Amino acid sequence: MQECLGTAETSHPHSHIPNGNQAVDDSLQPKPWMHKVLIGAGLYNIVWGLCAVCLPGMMLGLLGFDPLPRYPQLWQCIGMIVGVYGVGYLIAGKAPFRHWPIVLVGLLGKVFGPLGFAISLANGSLPATLGWTLLTNDLIWWAPFTLICWGAIRSQVASGSVHGTLEFDDPIRELLTSAGASLGDLSVEKPQLVVLLRHVGCPFCRESLAQLSAQRSQIEDRGYGIVLVHLGQQATVDEVFSRYGLQDVPRIHDPECRLYRQLGLDLGNFRELFGLHMWIRGLFSGIFLGHGIGRIQGNVLQMPGAFLIHCGQFLRGLKPGVASQPMDFLDLVQSAPKTCVPVETM
């Protein structure tokens, strides 16, 4: 590896600006269609509810009830409830992410309603023609309401980190390791393998630590130092690192995800974090491989990664496509260019 002289330099173009002066990242704000969907849902519910309250007999007849129920007042009560939900959707439409609980309650109702209808249809207590109202009352709203709730979760999580702000940050110089040195300074002394972990309760995080422990001597023999970046509380992190024999490795506590964001590790989407393959791999890693599953600490949506840094420059990196994807740290080191000139991230 080429010797580096002078102070560490990063390729980051911005100096650090305190969080209070940072602008909000537009990618974590509600999309215009979300406002329109909630306004539309609100107006639909209010109109439907008024029809049910004012014209219960006509609606029940159109929906296939023959003879009509003896107590149309029950249908009017349903109309009242649906109409009140509509008022809630109109309120949520002004700020979908702020009023996400209204959207979540509405989504739950739109999921459990069809389930109840299916049970009643099976025992013959409701006519099949009533199912048509489920299409417009419930089913067509599943996807947009789910996306709004997921967007609100991402926005809430990001609000506690730099993912929720525009990028004016320089963590490679400002964040210090447990030994008191910055990552930039360490990378001047010798190249560093920087492993950015998810929360240490994650079985995939623990699997990465086991992999790193097994490859540590070979990585260090090639002249690399190792730095671990984590999100959780120090006591829990120390316990987990000690379990894998990495208690003496320099570490950086980065609860705001500053290094993660600078290195291009974004918050994961639903497929990357909660897909079926994640559950299968999680059970395999946590139970059969013996890594266990711990308490969540830090940003549960944060994606992991590993990067090589030399002279303050990023040489090469690994960005898993899903949170469960194993990372081969030794292969990353062996494939690194023998130069301080940064190359494009893998």
- What CATH number is attached to the domain comprising 256? 3.40.30.10
Contacts of 153 (CB under 8 A, 6+ apart): 100, 301
Tell me the pLDDT of the chain (346 aa) as tens digits. 333 433 333 343 333 333 333 444 666 789 999 999 999 999 999 999 999 999 888 888 787 777 767 778 888 998 999 999 999 999 999 999 999 999 999 999 999 999 988 888 888 777 777 788 889 999 999 999 999 999 998 888 776 666 655 555 688 888 998 888 989 899 999 999 999 998 888 888 899 999 999 999 999 999 999 999 998 877 778 888 999 999 999 999 998 888 998 888 888 888 888 888 888 888 888 788 888 777 777 788 889 999 999 988 888 899 998 988 889 999 999 988 764 444 444 4
Which residue, of 107, 135, 158, is where some domain finishes? 158
If asked whether residues 79 and 190 sit together in one domain, one would say: no
Distances (CA, A) of 30 to 39, 151, 156, 209, 220: 14, 7, 12, 37, 46
Question: 0.75 exceeded by the pTM?
Answer: no
Q: List the 305-310 sheet strands across, edge first.
A: 251-253, 225-230, 192-196, 305-310, 313-318
If asked whether residues 130 and 231 sit together in one domain, one would say: no
Which residue, of 123, 158, 193, is where some domain finishes? 158
Range of the domain at 147: 26-158
If asked whether residues 195 and 244 sit together in one domain, one would say: yes
Q: Is 313 helix (H, G, I), strand (E, B) or coil?
A: strand
If asked whether residues 91 and 74 sit together in one domain, one would say: yes
Q: Is 139 helix (H, G, I), strand (E, B) or coil?
A: helix
145 belongs to a structural domain: yes
Residue 309 pairs with which residues in a beta bridge?
192, 314
Which residue, of 158, 177, 202, is where some domain finishes? 158
If asked whether residues 170 and 319 sit together in one domain, one would say: yes
Number of independent structural domains in the chain: 2
Contacts of 257 (CB under 8 A, 6+ apart): 161, 162, 163, 231, 265, 299, 302
If asked whether residues 47 and 195 sit together in one domain, one would say: no
